[in-house]
Amino acid sequence: MTSSISLNNQTLRNKFNKDEFASAISDIKTIVATSLKVYDYQKINRLIDEYRESLIKFLDREPLKLAILGGFTTQPIAVTLRALLLGEGCLIDIYESEYNSFKMEVLNSQSALYSFKPNMVLFATCSKNIETFPNIGSSSDDVESMTSNFVEDYRNL
């Protein structure tokens, strides 16, 4: 027995093969509105990769370039975003930093990040990447100041 995503995947492949891109994109939008697992998004991404050039022609524009820089594994974010955005008619190419190397990538103008030339950068970090926390009992002004400093540090990278 095949899963529903496998059937949808074959249906999508058939539509791509027949140049029925509007219908395939509409189906992707419907599929991603359901509860999917990461491997389901990976299947959709493989189709996007396979038909990338045809999708560019159909959409009549170059893909948006998104860099995802993270302090943890960002692959689930990348495959999900790519499928969701194609469902909205936006093809994206994604660059992902190596695990927890996002600061070095930003600081090194010779890095693959700079070669990729993203239109947008998404910082996907976690609490492990926060170097200082407010003390228990800190005033709201102190917490706000620390938060502002943290955000400013990222803006200055």
57-86 pLDDT, tens digit per residue, is 999 999 999 999 987 778 999 999 999 999
Using a 10 angstrom Cβ sphere, with 0-12 exposed, 13-18 middle and 19 or more buried, the burial of residue 17 is exposed
Using a 10 angstrom Cβ sphere, with 0-12 exposed, 13-18 middle and 19 or more buried, the burial of residue 21 is middle
Residue 1 clears pLDDT 60, i.e. is over it: no
Helices assigned H by DSSP within 60-122 = 75-87, 102-107, 112-116
CA 13 – CA 69 distance, rounded (Å): 31
Query: 102-130 pLDDT, tens per residue?
Result: 777 888 889 999 999 999 999 887 666 66
Query: 18-41 pLDDT, tens per residue?
Result: 999 999 999 999 999 888 899 999
pTM of the shown model: 0.77
Residue 153 clears pLDDT 80, i.e. is over it: no
